[in-house]
Amino acid sequence: MTNRRKFSAEFRVEAVELVISSGRPIAQVAPEIGVVEGTLSNWVRV
């Protein structure tokens, strides 16, 4: 069984803004903020 981490709505918004404003790929931003690439990708897509 895995431990699922909970991220606040504020953290999610800031993470998406970081990806969009920086113009960097999700694969580069995700490890910097401690999020799995697929999770960050889902947040950006929504």
The answer to the question of residue 39 being in a domain is yes
The answer to the question of residue 4 being in a domain is no
What is the reported pTM? 0.86
Number of domains comprising the chain: 1
| CB-CB contact of 34 with 23 (8 Å) | no
- Non-local (6+) Cβ contacts of 27 within 8 A are 37
Q: Give CA torsion, residues 33, 37, 42, 45, to 10 deg.
A: 90
The answer to the question of residue 27 being in a domain is yes
The answer to the question of residue 1 being in a domain is no
Per-residue pLDDT tens digits for 1-46:
678 889 999 999 999 999 999 999 999 999 999 999 999 999 999 8
State residue 2's pLDDT score: 75
- Structural domain including 24 reads 9-45
State residue 1's pLDDT score: 67
